[in-house]
Structure 1
Amino acid sequence: MRFIWQLLAVVAISIAGGQGLAAVDGNPWLQLVVGSLAAVLAIFVYGWVVRRTEHRPSTEVGLEGAAPAVGRGLLIGAAMFSAVVVNLFSSGQYEVDGLGSPTGAVGLFGFMAAAAVTEEVLYRGVLFRIVEERTGTWIALILTGLLFGASHLFNPHASLWGAFAIAIEAGGMLTAAYVATRRLWVPIGVHFGWNFAASGIYSTEVSGNDTPQGLLNSSMSGPELLTGGDFGPEGSVYAILFGVLVTIAFMWLAHRRGHVVPRRHTDRNDATTRLVR
């Protein structure tokens, strides 16, 4: 039942946040406010429901060291997407035609903050963490990564290739970031940094979604294998390559810290508490 209660709580916040953002669509400043509030509320509700259903401190969203952890993740995510764009730019697939819309970037900041936080508390905080208790780290990483990729099949311009790419570069990488730290802050930062760089800075599609123009007025053309086509650069082989490399780095760190749970049954107390100590 703890899984059901946690899932329902996080999904409710995600739906409420989505409805709120839809209600202020077209007003970037209100999108910033609503999106930021939805992100904060998702963290608060997740921490509350975990404490109530598992009778333990919600260490994975503990506030100590949260800001620098989010900052590190943000830099990693933004740097990764920038590396993808640099490769596309150097080969002539990405072009910048001037300044885009700074106010559009403001609205995208709020939208992507809400999306990053709600998806991380759902997929890493609830789904991966509880599945890992039964299956161990590696099986849980694969299962929830595939589920995360499959969830993007409902997006506009979705494709099996795009879902596969998301499963690897996001589902695997973000889960690995959680395993390495046993906290949600770094994966939240990576997720937000990647998505905001894609939309708010470089003005590209995000997982098949056409987003408002960001800081740069840009265009892309070329082979879908390199550009991702209508799905956006997340469907690019460059994105998959960088995602795999960062996943390997995070899992190496997780092994060094002893954070990888073998395939075994655990008791009702969450493995997170034991590993963080």
Structure 2
Amino acid sequence: MLDRIKYFADNSETLKQARINVEEISPIKEIGIFIALFLVLCVFLLIFQYIFWIFSPINEATFFSLGGFIAVPFVIYFFVTKIEKRSWRSIGFSKGNAFFSTLKGLIIGFLMFSAIVAVGMLLGQFTFDGYDLSSLVYIIPCFVIFVIQCFGEEIYTRGWTMTYFYKRHSIFLSILINSIIFLIPHLSNLGIDLVSIVNIFIIGIVFAVMFLRFDNIWICCGAHTAWNFSQGIIYGFNVSGISTPTLLKCSHTGQNLINGGVFGPESGLIATFVIIIALILVVYWPKH
């Protein structure tokens, strides 16, 4: 598996672009730059989250405040093009395949989470309790919020963090760092436990390998968006501990260790199984 991941990295135009005209700097300066951008992002993120929170429906303010991630691509774009002096392509924004790569990602993300629900239903860990048509009004705004949030997270973690460290280090260290950074914001979420920590870390690796294999950020953004949207809006589970409006009403009926409990199915062993299968498929599925 490691050999194939390295093969994807060695043949990635994104990573080739990232290593053009790389300035050699000390590890202290490298980490300092990383922390500085992280703090700047936090400031802008908090400001925009507060703006979205003010104008959100009172009962859904926490969820809609995720729209604050709209600040991320603008901050990253400025830093990449003006400070680092590298191309937008070097963080995965390939041209000509944005629509179909994003669509492919949406399908992959939906199928991944639907597989979790299907297995959970077969094992008696989830039950279907009906539907709520009043939530139809939320479908488009919620999808837009998830697009903003997931694109923001992917641009920062897979797009910038991974390519930033790859400029001077191995692809495996870069994947490790980006998956840890992806995990950290989830640690304060409701219901976080060891299984959810492991699952989020592994799915970070899945998205990273997807980024390398398909050589673009679009497919990761699509898969991440569909995963969250399916989990919350379609099937009615909490998304990393955050409740959302929902069309279908599904509930947990078994053990939290297996079905995920209040954090959502991505905190259960069923999700662990599906995520590992997804990683194997992303690595070994025939290219054509």
Shared fold per TM-score greater than 0.5: yes
Change (3 A) 1:152 1:14: same
Q: What is the one-letter code of the residue matched to 2:221?
A: I
Deviations 1:9-43 (A, max 9, x none): 6445533442233122217999999977954x643
Alignment of 1:232-251 (within 5 A): 232-251=264-283
* Distance in 2 separating the partners of 1:34 and 1:157: 20
Deviation for aligned residue 1:244? 1.8
How far residue 187 of structure 1 moved from its aligned partner, in angstroms, is 0.8
- Within 2, Cα distance between the matches of 1:20 and 1:181? 35
Q: Counterpart of 1:98 in 2: which secondary structure?
A: strand
The amino acid of 1:53's aligned partner reads I
Aligned-partner Cα distance in 1 for 2:230–2:258: 18
Aligned to 2:210: 177
Question: Match for 2:201 among 142, 156, 167?
Answer: 167
Q: Which residue of 2 aligns with 1:269?
A: none
Counterpart check, 1:91 vs 2:123: yes
Q: 1:216 Cα deviation (Å)? A: 0.9
Q: CA deviation at 1:120?
A: 0.9
The 1-side partners of 2:245 and 2:63 are apart by: 15
State whether structure 2 residue 30 is matched by structure 1 residue 23: no
Q: CA 1:25–1:188 in structure 2 vs 1: closer, same or farther (change >3 Å)? A: same
Say whether the 8 Å CA contact 2:112–2:227 is kept in structure 1.
yes
Identical counterparts, % of pairs: 24
2:168 aligned counterpart, secondary structure:
helix
Q: Distance in 2 between matches of 1:43 and 1:221?
A: 40
- Higher mean C-alpha displacement, 134-143 vs 29-38: 29-38
Aligned with residue 126 of structure 1, among 140, 153, 160? 160
Task: Name the SS for the 1:49 alignment partner.
Answer: helix
> What's the secondary structure of 1:112's corresponding residue?
helix
Matches within 5 A, 1:79-228: 79-100=111-132, 101-168=135-202, 170-209=203-242, 211-228=243-260
Q: Which runs of 5+ in 1 are unaligned?
A: 257-277
Decide whether the 8 Å contact of 1:51 with 1:57 is kept in 2.
yes
* Post-superposition offset of 1:162: 1.3
Aligned counterparts of 2:184 and 2:73: Cα–Cα separation in 1: 24
TM-score norm. by structure 1 comes to 0.78
Kindly indicate whether the alpha-carbon contact (under 8 Å) linking 1:5 and 1:49 is maintained by their aligned counterparts in 2.
no
RMSD: 3.0
1:205 and 1:174 map into 2 onto residues whose CA distance is 21
Conserved in 2, the CA contact under 8 Å of 1:227 and 1:235? Answer: yes
Deviates more, 1:85-94 or 1:200-209: 85-94
Separation in 2 of the partners of 1:28 and 1:185?
32
* Structure 2: distance between partners of 1:31 and 1:146: 24
Question: Residues 217 and 33 (structure 1 numbering): CA distance in 2 closer, same or farther, change over 3 Å?
Answer: closer
Normalized against structure 2, the TM-score is what? 0.76
Aligned-partner Cα distance in 2 for 1:62–1:34? 29
- Provide the residue aligned with 1:67 in structure 2: 99
| Per-residue CA distance 1:140-184 (angstroms, 9 max, x = gap) | 21232233224311112222321122111x211111111223321
Q: Is residue 77 of structure 2 the alignment partner of residue 47 of structure 1?
A: yes
More deviation in 222-231 or 30-39?
30-39
Name the CA distance, whole Å, in 1 between partners of 2:221 and 2:171: 19
Paired with 1:13 and 1:49, the residues of 2 have a C-alpha distance of 14
Residues 192 and 263, structure 2, Cα contact 8 Å, conserved in 1: yes
Q: Which runs of 5+ in 2 are unaligned?
A: 1-28
Q: What do residues 52-107 of structure 1 show as CA deviations (whole Å, max 9, x unaligned)?
A: 12323211224432111111111100110001001111222222222222223334
Separation in 2 of the partners of 1:134 and 1:34? 35
Amino acid at match of 1:24: F
Q: CA deviation at 1:196?
A: 0.4
Give the match for residue 259 of structure 1. none
